[in-house]
Structure 1
Amino acid sequence: MSGEMSGQEPRSPAISLVSALVDEGLGNSAYLVDLGDGRALAVDPPRDVRGLRAQADRARLRIAFVADTHLHADFLSGARQLAADTGAQVLASAAGRRAFDHTRLADEDEADLGGLTMRALATPGHTDEHLAFLLLDGPRPLGVFTGGSLIVGAAARTDLLGPGRTEELARAQYASLQRLATLPDHVAVWPTHGAGSFCSAPPGADRTSTIGAEKASNPLLAAPDADTFAARLIDSLGSYAAYFDRLTELNRRGPQILTGPPALAPLPVDQTRALLADGAVVVDVRPVADFAAGHLPGALSNPLRPQFGTWLGWLTDPATPIVIVRDPDQDPADITWQALTIGHENLVGELAGGVTAWRAAGHPLHSLGLTDAAHIGERPIVDVRQDAEYAAGHVPGAVHVELGDLPAHAADLDRRPYVVMCGHGERAATAASLLARAGHRDLAILAGGPDDWAKATERALNQGQLEGPEQGLELGR
């Protein structure tokens, strides 16, 4: 998690008390509240608590309280870790039945934070036990931590408990949003889920809002009735990672407390080969160009970036031992903390010396093509972006399979010399490595995305290299 502030202009006096720490990869925000007496409240912290701890240290605050709005499905909570590290009191829903020490809150219960008060508001929908936390200064409401209920421009998804309950929970979400809408317009809205989250958050730069702003602009909050709301929300739902289905229970039990920073053990080439023979998987976190130039046979490409953890959890089994291959300038802590935050505990180590050591030991490396939009030619394209991205504009004739679905469908695709495409190239590299593992050959990764293809096509037309009206990006399915 980055320790950066949200960067938004204050909309209420409460904003000066609250720091938003945004995880760009998971699309979530955690919050640190200065309680005014040297103590702080943390809300919805991830398992990687380094950003919150650093922010608290800079402000000379001790984290005395930590609150979770719900049993998270997309990341492991850091509440239990903060309690162990700082002695913080954990505040959470009684209905969540957490199996570790915490103060159990029900609807309208209040927690005295020493000058400020936090009131629990039952807001089911995203989950059954969901609470929003209203921060009060005396009788005056300052802001509300809305978790996965009201989010900027939308509401969080309601299908995480199975398709049989999606509509029921959508109707509960409608009632929860209507309840929040009765708060005064000036009240700040501090959601957990935001742009980049797979919990149905729309794209956009704003991470926080106000009740008044959401009443004026949020299309779901403007729905005239529960039927319309449910239809709009359900229609907006896209896919989500399989690891969402197991993290809720892990959060209920409480993630294992870490007694020190995680590390990657160095693994000699021979030990790496033995692990691979026993079923381990190599995850290569190097940049796309490095992976394409040469990688261990069967390696899964997942370039290290803020989204690394999401795709690690989406595409690998948590029970499968993982061996990391990285470049020397890539920080192992960025790898291990992202893995731990999505519940992957089975990183057994890293290949000591990387691909250089592998090659020096006489073992082969495989390679993939890397191309730009101007040199695709007539090669068929596989587009692995999400459905909504594909519908917004894609290369005509492209085969579309979401990256998360590709492991189940890679073997079914015709054996053709595909160029694999996403928005920039990282997901395309992952997809190409999956296709290679499934036996596809003559693959190339597009360094770029559909917009680059459209620009290259326009240039070719202008230069007379294409005849006739070449079509632009196609919309819809």
Structure 2
Amino acid sequence: MGFADDHLIPLVDEGLGNSAYLLDLGDGRALAMDASRDLRDLRAAAERRRLHVAFAADTHLHADFLSGAVQLGHDTGATILASAAGRRAFDHQRLADGDEVDLGGLTLRALATPGHTDEHLSFLLLDGSRKLGVFTGGSLIVNSAARTDLLGPQRTEELARAQYRSLKQLTALPDATAVWPTHGAGSFCSVPPGTERTTTIGAQKQANPLLGAPDEDAFVSQLIGSLGTYPAYFDRLGGINRRGPAVLTAQPLLPALSAQQVRALMADGGHVVDVRPAADYAAGHIPGSLSIPLRGQFATWLGWLLPDTAPIAFVTGADQDLSEIVWQSYKIGYEHLAGHLAGGMDAWLANGNPQTTTAFVTADRAAGRPYVDVRQEAEFTAGHVPGAAHVELGGLAAAAADTPVGAVVACGHGERAMTAASLLERAGHTDVAVLDGGPADYAAARGQHLVQGTEGTRS
């Protein structure tokens, strides 16, 4: 078959910063590459094209989402393609460096590219002898390479050196070869911001700063020096993906719960997550609930801030999609979903239960309060309010006792800051305010300019 650009369908998860791919093989069959357990978009794309998913490949043991390959194997009979070195515990075709899979006109060649993980494969797509493109997973990505510290600090340098050799191997491909990474901007597995999700070998030779490193030691120092924190749940998912996520035989649901049931759940050690917009949470919420507004990044903060072992009930707004809550939770292995509060906060209050409010203030009303910035370190360093205290949201619960009394908590817009305020309220802070806006708004209201660097930071 001849390969056309529209044979490859990228499926972008903006929240996790990842791309899966559906490859139309031209004969009614398709290959799914690095599909997550949330298969809604992939299934919709396959249905539009009337494609049967015959192959499901994973470039590596993912840490940021549960793989959908096992589910596709169950649902469509797809042959699962993965690294033999990954020692996966389920039926799959084990591939090593140089192994090829006949896709029926096209060929997929496995390339061992360790670094992001030790069993990482890239997949080179060939049409005869013509190299069309390469699925690089977490090896070569747009203007960077994925992090090498997911297997523990004792292996970070070893894997960074492996990543150097893997990128050298990939950049030996022809310049015109398309590069189709999994990780991209917004992923905690990668570093640089940007809008481009795909690239070419030639473009990366020109633009990727890691490829400009003069030698291996410089590359390793540059890559390791760029690594920030990552969500706590990353440490769990690799093992689950090795064993194989549980197959789902029905659409998981989020049952309706009464106010009494939610109250009992909290009393028994469960958690309540309020997924309404930040302003709605501020206006009134269940005491002790955690604010995580339902948006693309919902799964990231759920997995960072709560354990996956305790039951969770959700407070929702009238127009919010319950299935979105379920799938974002399930794709990172959170399955203890007790349900949602039927009738929302109105039902909670009608049952005689108390609520708490949080001050949600514009920059002109935040004067006189200590300013706490909860963004990631790279965001803070790029520009922050002079004199701001800094603690990343992911580490705030552990630092709650050190947070200044009466602080105004801020992020880029207000969503993460409201999450931070809910954490502080759970820790006993009753005087927290949240900035409705970001650091530029606060600085402008005071005639200040944002400063760069780490002045004012604390851990």
Q: What TM-score results when the alignment is normalised by the length of structure 1?
A: 0.94
Find the partner of 2:15 among 25, 30, 54.
25
Deviation, structure 1 residue 51 = 0.5
Find the partner of 1:426 among 402, 411, 415.
415
Find the partner of 1:216 among 182, 206, 210.
206
Q: Which moved more, 1:393-402 or 1:426-435?
A: 393-402
Residue 342 (structure 2) pairs with residue 352 (structure 1)? yes
**Moved beyond 4 Å, runs of 4+:** none
CA distance in 1, matches of 2:44, 2:214: 44
2:451 is matched with which residue? 474
CA distance in 2, matches of 1:189, 1:450: 36
Q: Which moved more, 1:433-442 or 1:144-153?
A: 433-442
- The residue correspondences of 1:157-176 to structure 2 (distance < 5 A) are 157-176=147-166
CA distance in 2, matches of 1:440, 1:347: 28
User: Is the 2:284–2:358 Cα contact (8 Å) retained in structure 1?
Assistant: yes
Residue 267 (structure 2) pairs with residue 267 (structure 1)? no
User: Is the 2:191–2:226 Cα contact (8 Å) retained in structure 1?
Assistant: no
1:97 is matched with which residue? 87
Matched to 1:56, the amino acid is: A
Residue 64 (structure 2) pairs with residue 87 (structure 1)? no
1:281 is matched with which residue? 271
CA distance in 2, matches of 1:272, 1:353: 12
CA distance in 2, matches of 1:271, 1:206: 46
CA distance in 2, matches of 1:104, 1:13: 26
CA distance in 1, matches of 2:3, 2:387: 53
2:96 is matched with which residue? 106
CA distance in 1, matches of 2:116, 2:231: 16
CA distance in 2, matches of 1:356, 1:275: 19
1:437 is matched with which residue? 426
Residue 231 (structure 2) pairs with residue 254 (structure 1)? no
Matched to 2:362, the amino acid is: D
Deviation, structure 1 residue 412 = 2.7
User: Is the 1:18–1:34 Cα contact (8 Å) retained in structure 2?
Assistant: yes
Deviation, structure 1 residue 474 = 1.6
Identity %: 67
Q: How many matched pairs?
A: 453
Deviation, structure 1 residue 14 = 5.1
CA distance in 2, matches of 1:30, 1:220: 24
User: Is the 1:325–1:354 Cα contact (8 Å) retained in structure 2?
Assistant: yes
2:137 is matched with which residue? 147
1:230 is matched with which residue? 220
Secondary structure in structure 2 of the residue aligned to 1:382: strand
Secondary structure in structure 1 of the residue aligned to 2:313: strand
Matched to 1:235, the amino acid is: G
CA distance in 2, matches of 1:450, 1:207: 28
2:307 is matched with which residue? 317
User: Is the 1:14–1:142 Cα contact (8 Å) retained in structure 2?
Assistant: no
Deviation, structure 1 residue 456 = 2.4
User: Is the 2:191–2:227 Cα contact (8 Å) retained in structure 1?
Assistant: no
Secondary structure in structure 1 of the residue aligned to 2:260: helix
CA distance in 2, matches of 1:62, 1:405: 44
1:468 is matched with which residue? none
Deviation, structure 1 residue 24 = 0.4
CA distance in 2, matches of 1:192, 1:221: 19
Find the partner of 1:450 among 435, 439, 449.
439
Residue 379 (structure 2) pairs with residue 389 (structure 1)? yes
User: Is the 1:188–1:208 Cα contact (8 Å) retained in structure 2?
Assistant: yes
Deviation, structure 1 residue 454 = 2.8
Deviation, structure 1 residue 291 = 0.2
Matched to 1:474, the amino acid is: V
**Deviations along 1:9-28, whole A, 9 cap, x unmatched?**
xxx96533211110000000
Residue 357 (structure 2) pairs with residue 379 (structure 1)? no
Give the unaligned 5+ runs of structure 1. Answer: 1-11, 459-470
Matched to 2:156, the amino acid is: T
Residue 406 (structure 2) pairs with residue 417 (structure 1)? yes
CA distance in 2, matches of 1:456, 1:181: 48
**Deviations along 1:244-276, whole A, 9 cap, x unmatched?**
011000000010111121111111111111111
- The residue correspondences of 1:333-348 to structure 2 (distance < 5 A) are 333-348=323-338
Secondary structure in structure 1 of the residue aligned to 2:434: strand
1:292 is matched with which residue? 282
CA distance in 1, matches of 2:363, 2:199: 39
User: Is the 2:3–2:127 Cα contact (8 Å) retained in structure 1?
Assistant: no
2:359 is matched with which residue? 369
**Deviations along 1:62-114, whole A, 9 cap, x unmatched?**
11101000000011000011111111110000111111111000000000000
Deviation, structure 1 residue 446 = 0.8
Matched to 1:433, the amino acid is: S
Secondary structure in structure 2 of the residue aligned to 1:221: helix
Secondary structure in structure 1 of the residue aligned to 2:212: coil
**Deviations along 1:274-329, whole A, 9 cap, x unmatched?**
11110011100000010000000000000000000000000001011111110120
